[in-house]
Structure 1
Amino acid sequence: MAPVTNSRLIFNSPPGDGPFEPGKTLVVDNSHSIDVDTVALDGGFLLKILFVAPDPYLRGLMVGPGQPALIDVPPFILGESIIAPSVGVVVRSETGDVKVGDHICGALPAQNYVVKPGLEAGLLVIQNQYNIPLSAYLGVAGLAGMTAWMAWKEFIGTAKKGSTVFVSTAAGAVGSFVVQLAKLDGCKVIASTGSADRVAYIKEFGADVAFNYKEESTDEVLDKEGPLDIYWDNVGTKTLDSALAHAATNARFISCGMISAYDTRDATVKNLLQLIAKSITIYGLNVATLIPKWAAEFFTEVPKLVAEGKVKFKEHRFEGLASFDDAFVGTMNGTINGTKAIIVVGSE
């Protein structure tokens, strides 16, 4: 086979304290090629990347040289491929860990082909015994799903029936699964999102009250529908302040993300005294710390729930690495048509 282009999505320019800059922060590099049949594997295996997910946490890795990432993950390296959640298929192998035709998911370089020395920590062979779409392993059956399901198991367990749960960024990949987990436990769910279409969408997933925070006051909605027993926070700042003000005594908060502060670095919260006044417990969520405990149960239960239709998901697919900017901005702004943006990089 003649060499083929091995396109890469590289980290080109740190955005600093400003917003992600399409066409500048990340760029596609088409200068590399690869001979799939002859490239040296040195005892490893060759993956063809099929899908990449432009997850919000990647924004926290776009920092300048010598600066720490905003989360506990190694930052991107200037001029190198970004590392992003991906699914690939093994096209050649010199290791007993994987065989040709196996599908692998995990954090991988965003490029067409990747040589790996072995099945490193964080890379999983997808068993897919329930035959759900492979791209689901980047969403509801992947990192987003693990974030929602594992944290709910760890910090909530089974919620008391009738509890009031508020989920911010509820139409996203994580939030929409949290909505469904809360409904499975018999909770009343309040869901905020950023457009009328996504309000309608998250109602289809079971939210009892859904509103567009850009057009309705979060405080006014929570005044009417609260107090809150559980708050799942994907936003931080003003929305967190509102939740604190409307929390019930002994409420539980799960802090999953602070998307409103990723660009500005301003995570100011004014109502922290409510933690004391209402005996609120707040859990900081780093899913990496939960995976060792919950992974086996997650991969046993969640794909089955998806296959049975008990947990729903919706994707918005983009074509090619060059579409990463659109997919990422849409994910960050909450404007994509679906809970999960998926970039289709290749086919089998």
Structure 2
Amino acid sequence: MSNRTILLASRPQGKPTPDTFRFEDRERPTPSKGQVLLKTLYVSVDPYMRGRMSDAKSYVPPFEVGQPISGGVVAEVVESQHPELAVGTVVTGNLPWQEYSLSDGKGLTPVPTDGPPISYYLGVLGMPGLTAYFGLLDICRPKEGETVVVSGAAGAVGSVVGQLAKIKGARVVGTAGSDEKVAYLKELGFDEAINYKTTPNIAKALADACPNGVDCYFDNVGGDITDAVYDLLNTHARIALCGQISTYNAEKTPVGPRPEGKLLKTSSMLQGFIVSNYAKRFPEGVRELTQWVEQGKLTFEETFTEGFDQIPAAFLGLFAGENTGKALVKVAEPNAA
């Protein structure tokens, strides 16, 4: 009746290491009235979690040292004293990094098991897909024939952004960190893809790839790539600021060009956003994304790591660019207590 749990051992300085995490074997809980016992099937590892490991003020509270880390999880109800969640129900929610967890049902969303893979509800039909959907379509609003640039384009969010932009008739340019990822972006229909790690002059490469300038920029990365894109903005360009993974492990605030003058001269709009801003519209996003998946217009790559004990390694791999598409840890098969 053990229940392995992963805790935040200490707040990292710079890049997290294996010592950032601590494993603890706890007793498997028993549900009381109104509760369910959930067995973890898939765990999502995401770059935003790095921010929660520090104690800086942010849009969500930080993880507590000595307490379980939590994030997106697909789980199965294996014991139930809840009137609406029967044994065998598969759900997604924000849950602790534990093999088993208790819930009163709040914040859980049942997911169908007779459609797309259930892991998709942590990816293209979950937080990353919804981030791409609302960030691109509500903020960038690409028009047919416009040029859209996506940084971190081979990741869980960026790969969906690029495909949605193509669905809307845009010309799409993506940046990624390996030749394999560049080839993957071409398979997805990106018009141009750039390996920023092997490109000696990223500014020139982006200028060559965007001869008519940039109308929309979906920024997952920040840093030198973003600095270069700002020099290519067209009048009334729209920028969706989604992530800044290039700076997440920085111990000092990086100093770079100040963008305000470029935004002013081009009358461009820069909007930061968090996907939870659109929580009331999540059903709309899931419905539209599901339709495109079922129509074959939207494909999705998943990078799986096997085993509960590999969750920290999968998380650390995000910052080495080890994943293409969504990084997930498969913990268990469904229908097994």
Q: Same fold (TM over 0.5)?
A: yes
Paired residues for 1:217-228 under 5 Å: 217-226=201-210, 227-228=213-214
Q: Which amino acid aligns with 1:290?
A: Y
Counterpart CA distance in 2 for 1:200 and 1:232 is 20
3-state DSSP of counterpart to 1:55: coil
State the match for 2:109 in structure 1: 124
State the match for 1:270 in structure 2: 257
3-state DSSP of counterpart to 1:242: helix
Counterpart CA distance in 1 for 2:4 and 2:88 is 22
Query: Alpha-carbon deviation of 1:145?
Result: 0.5
Match of 2:26 among 32, 38, 41: 32
Query: Alpha-carbon deviation of 1:153?
Result: 2.6
Match of 1:282 among 249, 270, 274: 270
> Does 2:5 align with 1:8?
yes
Q: Deviations over 1:10-55 (max 9, x none)?
A: 1111103x1111x2111322x21326xxx24242111001000111
* Higher mean displacement: 171-180 or 273-282: 273-282
**In 2, are the aligned partners of 1:317 and 1:343 still within 8 Å (CA)?**
yes
User: CA 1:149 to 1:128, structure 2 compared with 1: closer, same or farther past 3 Å?
Assistant: farther
State the match for 2:130 in structure 1: 146
> Does 2:311 align with 1:315?
no
Query: Alpha-carbon deviation of 1:142?
Result: 0.6
**In 1, are the aligned partners of 2:5 and 2:23 still within 8 Å (CA)?**
yes
> Does 2:74 align with 1:87?
yes
Q: Deviations over 1:146-197 (max 9, x none)?
A: 100122232134x211101110000000000000001101111111000111
Counterpart CA distance in 1 for 2:179 and 2:316 is 18
State the match for 1:233 in structure 2: 219
Contiguous gaps of at least 5 residues in structure 2: none
Query: What RMSD, in angstroms, separates the aligned Cα atoms of the two structures?
Result: 1.5
**In 2, are the aligned partners of 1:93 and 1:99 still within 8 Å (CA)?**
yes
3-state DSSP of counterpart to 2:19: coil
Counterpart CA distance in 1 for 2:288 and 2:105 is 24
Counterpart CA distance in 1 for 2:222 and 2:149 is 13
**In 2, are the aligned partners of 1:151 and 1:290 still within 8 Å (CA)?**
no
Query: Alpha-carbon deviation of 1:128?
Result: 5.1
State the match for 1:197 in structure 2: 180
Paired residues for 1:40-55 under 5 Å: 40-55=31-46
Count how many residue pairs are aligned between Structure 1 and Structure 2. 329
TM-score, with normalisation over the residues of structure 2?
0.93
TM-score, with normalisation over the residues of structure 1?
0.90
State the match for 2:285 in structure 1: 298
Counterpart CA distance in 1 for 2:247 and 2:279 is 26
**In 2, are the aligned partners of 1:52 and 1:345 still within 8 Å (CA)?**
yes
Query: Alpha-carbon deviation of 1:213?
Result: 0.3
Counterpart CA distance in 1 for 2:46 and 2:304 is 13
Query: Alpha-carbon deviation of 1:296?
Result: 1.5
Counterpart CA distance in 2 for 1:156 and 1:193 is 20
**In 2, are the aligned partners of 1:321 and 1:345 still within 8 Å (CA)?**
yes
Paired residues for 1:59-78 under 5 Å: 59-63=50-54, 67-69=55-57, 71-78=58-65
3-state DSSP of counterpart to 2:132: helix
Q: Which amino acid aligns with 1:235?
A: V
* Higher mean displacement: 183-192 or 96-105: 96-105
Query: Alpha-carbon deviation of 1:74?
Result: 1.7
**Where do 4+ consecutive residues of structure 1 move more than 3 Å?**
none
3-state DSSP of counterpart to 1:153: helix
**In 2, are the aligned partners of 1:46 and 1:114 still within 8 Å (CA)?**
yes
**In 2, are the aligned partners of 1:50 and 1:89 still within 8 Å (CA)?**
yes
Contiguous gaps of at least 5 residues in structure 1: none
**In 1, are the aligned partners of 2:31 and 2:80 still within 8 Å (CA)?**
no
**In 1, are the aligned partners of 2:146 and 2:170 still within 8 Å (CA)?**
yes
Q: Which amino acid aligns with 2:122?
A: L
Q: Deviations over 1:241-271 (max 9, x none)?
A: 1111111111100100011111115254414
> Does 2:140 align with 1:133?
no
Counterpart CA distance in 2 for 1:79 and 1:175 is 33
